[in-house]
Structure formats: C-alpha cells, structure tokens
Amino acid sequence: MAEMVRKSSVDEILNHWILAGSCILLMITGYAFLFHVEGISAVFGGVNTMKSVHNWGGVVFTLSLLYSMRHYLVDALEYDADDAQWFKVAGGYLSHKVTVPPMGKYNPGQKLYYLAVVGAGIAIAASGFAIWLLKENTTLMLISHLVHNVAFCIFILAAPVHIYLGTLANPGTFKLMVSGTLPLEEAKRRYPKWMKAAGKM
C-alpha cells in the first residue's frame, strides 16, 4: 500500500466544511432577501425565521473564517520567485506546454484566493452585524447594505470557481479535503517544495 502523507489536519477539514456550509446557507438566504424570493423563505418557515437563520449562520461563518486563519494566513502572505513564475504561466491552466515551477503546500493562486475570501468575508461579516445590531444609525445602515451586497456578489462569483478548481480542474483535491491525506509520491510531484521542507524528498 502506498505511503500516505497528511496535508490537512482533522480540525482544518472540519472547519473547511463548516465554513463552506455556512457560506452556502448565507448565499441562499441572502439571495432570497435581496430578490424577495418567497419560495426560499417559505422553505425556512417564513421571512422572520429565515432572518434568524441568516443572522446566526453569519455568526458561525465569522467564527469559522477567523479560525481558518490559523491554518492558512501565514502561508497566504508568503511569496517567492517561483510564485511569480507561476503567475507568468497561469499555473499551467491555460496550456499544458508550459513549465510550471515547483510549488510549496499552496500555490499563489490559492493564496490570493484565500486572502480575497478573508477580505470579502470580513467585509460581509462586519456589515452584516451592523445591519443586524445597529439599525438606528441610518448612515451606517446605507453603507453597510452597500458593502454587504458588494461582498455578496464577490462570494457569488468566487464560490463556483472554488468548487470547479477543487473538483474538475484538479482531480483528487476534493478527496484530499475529505481525508486530508494523499500518496507520498503524488505529494512529491504536486508539492515538491513542501515535501523538501518536510524532509520527504
């Protein structure tokens, strides 16, 4: 049996799915609020119940987003010459003829995507709490609704991209975010710099 290496810890996997689940729930309920979709609100038992689900789902999302920083933030802020070269060849997604430089645990596309999620996530959470808890401030309400809706649009665009890249575009990635492990030889091929740093090369 092939030797396996762990890329994602159990708590990282669990938090990933909590973050994903709460995000999807918030996008569905947020869409219903934005476009007044009565069919969706009926599924939740009415607008008021859906509002409670949305608000407390936002609490779960915020806590999960903050917790994710212990897993990804440090790596997401570190870039080197190989990362710059990765951008030049678009990670090999546009052509299989280019040479993709060796990568560490995460490629720069994943790093920037995570930073975008953190930025949009903080914006949508802060504005959401303001809308929920500070209704008496009219100016703040107007600004918060604008920020909330812009951040919502970012997530609506980003989520399908993340799902595609985590499934069809990169076979094996979805399985990795379920088990947290992958074969050593595959890890050496896909993440040589990480494996070298871990003493596996």
pLDDT tens, residue order, the chain (201 aa): 789 999 999 999 999 999 999 999 999 999 999 999 999 999 999 999 999 999 999 999 999 999 999 999 999 999 999 999 999 999 998 888 999 999 999 999 999 999 999 999 999 999 999 999 999 999 999 999 999 999 999 999 999 999 998 888 888 889 999 999 999 999 999 999 999 999 987
DSSP letter string, 24-89 = HHHHHHHHHHHHT-HHHHHHTTSHHHHHHHHHHHHHHHHHHHHHHHHHHHHHHT---HHHHHHHHT
Q: Is the pTM of this model over 0.75?
A: yes
